[in-house]
Structure 1
Amino acid sequence: MPDNPGQRLDAISFRQLRLFESVGRLNSVRRGSEECNLSQPAVTQALAKLEQLIGIDLFERRASGSYLTPPGDILYARVIRMFKQLADALFDLEVPGGQVGADAVVHRLTRSQVRSLVAIIDHGSFAAASIALQITEASLQRAARDLEGNLRKNIFYRSAEGVMVTPAGIACGRRMSLALQEIDWAINEIDVARDIGESRITIGALPFGGSVLLASVLDEFLATQTKVDVRIATEGASEMMQRLREGKVDLVIGLTQETMGDNLVSQTLAETPYEVVGRRGHPLVEKGQVTRDDLIRYDWVVGSQGSSRRKCFDGLFANCPKPRTPVATSALPVIRHLLAGSDRLTLMTAYELQYESMLVPVPIDVRLPCPTIGITTRADWLPTALHKDFINLVKSRVSTRSIMATARSAA
């Protein structure tokens, strides 16, 4: 068995997974061999090889049939999802024959064909992809031709820069890459259950609230997980949502976005109203009820263009003069520094403000928007046990009541 999880994943063929799915569903090697039109010894050998690669028994063999073990159940659920996602991607690519045609193509697909397309998309060229896959460019081109012939649809075209993937091909390849992740997650879950590997989680933290929320729970999460590999990505909302769609992050925490598309869903954790914020001792803090005219007299640090924070700022000063905004940033340490040593103002949510010691809300006579803080995932995502533990921890630490109470006490 290869030691590297990636090598183990690459060594597992779609043929093995199709046979595994058939036997797992029918609880019988004999019936599985008949369905797949193979001999029983061939199916038995393929499943034995798969078990060797995974490193554990996937079936319990009895006189009445072959039944999935707990590790087999983990893999089976992911295999079902992988093949469905592949079929959905091909249906949306509009391969000939509709859904029946898409299912037929999936049955003929090989891991080599899918890996080749994904690598070409990820690395931008056949030459770079062949280096990444450690195969010759001729082998990669052959796999690409086989894939296109299998699809009966052109997904490559020649340009001045060389052979490129069509936009439809790129969209399909991205979804195929997500499908392949299912088996990666299955191997990881099984390894963790056997206590021979680390659980993995990649968290996207949106600026401001996401980073604050993550920081508030990370120590506790790490204390409860003895073997975990946590990776954190921090980018703006639009970039982060794209990373989520592509499977480069598992989940995103922070202010929920107004428009995400059908392929993303958010779990709202709490409402957290925006506040006008300045340093402790700011002239406006002790003034009482503050008007827009008061706010206009001070410089502001605003959110990046397109952010919900910037939208709130624009709404606050709609149909009236706007204050000077010499700095636009989502970097909380920069904002904190700029406000702490001056009379500048900014917008923060009540949730973010509860973790600030030097910044306080400015009482204003305008009701500001009340966004929500939450967790965003892909709509069809199946979380691992580790993901569920993290999400449950975050939910237990965030509530509307605590945020609103903090906002009122700070005011």
Structure 2
Amino acid sequence: MDYPNLRHIRLFCACLRTGSLTRAADIVGVTQPAASQAISRLEDRFGTRLLERGPGHAMATPAGRVVQTRSLRALDLIRTGCQRLQADSGSRGSGADARLTISHLRALQAFAQTGGFPGAARILDQSGAAVQRTARNAEAILGTSLFEADGRATRFTGAGRAVARWAGLSLKELGNATEEVQELRGKFDGLVSVGALPMARTTIVPDAIASLALTHPLARFEILEGSYEQLLSDLEMGHIDFLIGALRSRLTPTLGQEPLFDFRLAVVAGAGHPLSGRTNVSLAELASYPWVVARKGTPNRSTFDALAAKFPDGPQMQGTVETGSLTALRGILMQTDRLALLSRHQLRHELKAGFLALLNYEVPGKPLSIGITTRRNWQPTALQAEYLVAIRRVVATEEAVSAPGGSRLPPLKAAE
């Protein structure tokens, strides 16, 4: 994405704060002609007028107010981040917030996304040396170590990761400013970036996209998959807008959760499994078959571990397949007699097609919750907000799905 010049943004905000481009030029330290040229370039960048200027005063246009709101959020992230860094590390980077540039922020964000300078160089389409030089210059401005050697690789220090977080979030705000100016014109061509966990990938996320795309055909969507830990990091860094999937009980103070509904996992097998169609499947019968299980640390795996602990001969872990891939799991179930725990959202298409079947066994334990995780201070664009409305609408209208053989999955239960 092409971001506006950060110095131009500071000048623009100072102009609206003082009501005078002349006073703003003095604050930023540029001449009056240079200030006028900077504002013109900023307006060209957004494709519309941002200021209404008269003798001795300057006011924001409607588009200008949008840019001002997002710009102030971005500048506040940078300023408070620098202040916190100085307080925590005793850095000597006084006035660093006014010296950092978009290039500095982009280099740090790209390093955070890829985990190294070679990957950052590919994202930014620059040489590795150029990206490293920019990142090291940001390190010098901030007056504290952002990187450390890890064998032959380079990684962030704790301070570096904190800086990358607010650098990414500030860029997100400036990017959203561009999208909201477009929305003001009635053009909804922005990006909605969703982190999707397994229990939301098959139906909830795609159904909401299909619904919103009918209203806004120019809208762009990005679905990122990965472990909960990785997607949570992406959310905190501003790489995604929100996360949809099974909720967790422990969360950092900077994040918030919105429950959508509760559900119970079901025991699933291939359509031709010996236990398929049987009534009153016993725990001993479940224990006699090998399983495909979710990764450790997930709510699904915790439910399985609790179930396996009650097997007559104790947990039978030998030969277990562990995976977070629904595609791999589906293929294994269809070709073997293995069992798995899954939610009906992950199985709607397979059950309808008759590839998989639910076993007649009620899995004990507390219901799990599916919901939305966001940054607490997140301010969505109109398009992002509409996608969340579409998500809630999909959940509210989804009905129980009939499985082959007349068996039926329990309907959704709204989260309390």
For the criterion TM > 0.5, the same-fold answer is yes
**Deviation sequence 1:166-211 (CA, Å, 0-9, x none):** 3322331232122122112212332454467832122222124333
Alignment of 1:253-268 (within 5 A): 253-268=244-259
What is the aligned partner in structure 2 of residue 239 from structure 1?
230
- Within the alignment, does 1:407 sit opposite 2:404 as a pair? no
- Aligned-partner Cα distance in 2 for 1:310–1:113: 41
What is the aligned partner in structure 2 of residue 72 from structure 1?
64
- Within the alignment, does 1:276 sit opposite 2:264 as a pair? no
The 1:292/1:400 distance shift into structure 2, 3 A limit, reads farther
Q: Secondary structure at the match of 1:383?
A: coil
With 84-93 and 160-169 compared, the bigger mean Cα shift is at: 160-169
What is the aligned partner in structure 2 of residue 220 from structure 1?
211
**Deviation sequence 1:100-123 (CA, Å, 0-9, x none):** x98833133333443444455556
What is the aligned partner in structure 1 of residue 315 from structure 2?
322
- Aligned-partner Cα distance in 1 for 2:389–2:401: 21
C-alpha root-mean-square deviation of aligned residues, in Å? 3.7
Alignment of 1:125-136 (within 5 A): 132=124, 134=126
With 279-288 and 237-246 compared, the bigger mean Cα shift is at: 279-288
Contact 1:213-1:254 at 8 Å conserved across structures: no
1:336 to 330, 336, 341: 330
1:265 CA displacement: 2.1
Contact 2:261-2:369 at 8 Å conserved across structures: yes
The 1:91/1:98 distance shift into structure 2, 3 A limit, reads farther
- Aligned-partner Cα distance in 2 for 1:275–1:316: 12
* Unaligned ranges ≥5, structure 2: 403-407
1:283 CA displacement: 5.1
Q: Give TM-score scaled by structure 2 length.
A: 0.80
Q: Secondary structure at the match of 1:235?
A: coil
The 1:315/1:81 distance shift into structure 2, 3 A limit, reads same
- Aligned-partner Cα distance in 1 for 2:221–2:54: 40
Q: Secondary structure at the match of 1:271?
A: strand
1:135 CA displacement: 6.9
1:137 CA displacement: 4.1
2:388 is matched by which residue type in structure 1?
I
Contact 1:91-1:102 at 8 Å conserved across structures: no
The 1:301/1:61 distance shift into structure 2, 3 A limit, reads same
The 1:157/1:309 distance shift into structure 2, 3 A limit, reads closer
What is the aligned partner in structure 1 of residue 339 from structure 2?
345
The 1:235/1:111 distance shift into structure 2, 3 A limit, reads closer
- Aligned-partner Cα distance in 2 for 1:97–1:229: 40
What is the aligned partner in structure 1 of residue 405 from structure 2?
none
1:315 CA displacement: 0.8
- Within the alignment, does 1:370 sit opposite 2:367 as a pair? yes
- Within the alignment, does 1:110 sit opposite 2:101 as a pair? yes
- Aligned-partner Cα distance in 2 for 1:364–1:120: 48
Contact 1:271-1:371 at 8 Å conserved across structures: yes
Q: Give TM-score scaled by structure 1 length.
A: 0.81
**Deviation sequence 1:23-56 (CA, Å, 0-9, x none):** 2234443554565566655433322221122221
Number of aligned residues: 400
Contact 1:206-1:237 at 8 Å conserved across structures: yes
1:248 is matched by which residue type in structure 2?
H
What is the aligned partner in structure 2 of residue 308 from structure 1?
299
* Unaligned ranges ≥5, structure 1: none
